[in-house]
Amino acid sequence: MARKGTIKNMGKVQREMSDAWKARKAAKASATPDDKAPPTREEANRLAARAAVAVFGPAVLNPAPDAAAKPAGKRGKDAKASAPTTAKKTKSAKPVTERRAAKEAKPKSSKSAGERKPRRVSALDAAAQVLAASEVPMRAKEMIAAMEAKALWRSPGGKTPEATLYAAIIREIAAKGDKARFKKHEKGVFVAGKGA
């Protein structure tokens, strides 16, 4: 059951809400009908033109008299010649043929196909090399330590490279089956597979 004070306050709140509702209704009734009517077409066009001038500037909306003399719908050789110079600028002022000739004349890079930068060995490839060279089964953590000792691969700053390597080995075994470079010896321990 509600307390007595709450019921008394409820009446006061309802009266205040009723008064506010009456005030809003009176304000709507006293508003002139011209305020509610939508603008006419002429007034809307005038407002749109004013907004366009504010955004684009008067020079864009009021072109030079010679450009406005010809109809915009018909384009021919004469229309292109007398068109205003406000068209989009291309990357350079040179014609396309000159740009192509300049591009073809540029000397190619001095590196030949044989001088490419050596590809960085992935952790999985390095682990396959370490495991193929090892005679005993290894865990992922042992493979990471051996790869870093032989300078085959170094972690780029990951906190758990052994977990990443373990997951990659499991994925390769699942995808390639018997042709994988790794074979599971026991839980968490791997040996070199037939693909190594």
- Across 1-10, 20-29, 80-89, 107-116, the highest mean pLDDT is recorded for 20-29
In-domain check, residue 183 = yes
Buried/exposed 52-87: b ≥16 CB within 10 Å, e otherwise: eeeeeeeeeeeeeeeeeeeeeeeeeeeeeeeeeeee
**β-sheet bridge partners, residue 183:** 191
Query: Is residue 79, in this structure, part of any structural domain at all?
Result: no
Question: Is position 30 within any domain?
Answer: no
Comparing 36-40, 59-63, 107-111, 152-156, the range with the smallest average pLDDT is: 107-111
Q: Domain containing 151: what range?
A: 123-192
Count of structural domains within the chain: 1
Tell me the Ramachandran region of residue 151: left when phi exceeds 0, alpha when psi lies from -120 to 50, beta otherwise. Answer: left
- 18 lies in a domain? no
pLDDT over threshold 60, residue 107? yes
Instruction: Tell me, yes or no, whether 149 lies in a domain.
Output: yes
Indicate if the alpha-carbon torsion angle 96, 99, 101, 104 is positive or negative: negative
Local confidence band at 181 (pLDDT 50, 70, 90 cut-offs): very high
72-96 confidence digits (pLDDT tens): 555 555 545 554 555 455 555 556 6
Would you say residue 100 lies in a domain? no
- For 148-168, what is each residue's pLDDT tens digit? 999 999 988 999 999 999 999
Report if residue 27 sits inside a domain.
Answer: no
pLDDT of residue 172: 94
121-153 pLDDT per residue, tens: 899 999 999 999 999 999 999 999 999 999 999
In the prediction, which pLDDT does 75 show? 57
- pTM (2 d.p.): 0.42
Domain-embedded: residue 164: yes
What is the percent of the chain with per-residue pLDDT over 70, rounded to a whole number?
A: 60
| Mean confidence (pLDDT) of the chain | 76
Determine the average pLDDT of the residues in 98-109: 67
- Supply the pLDDT for residue 147: 94
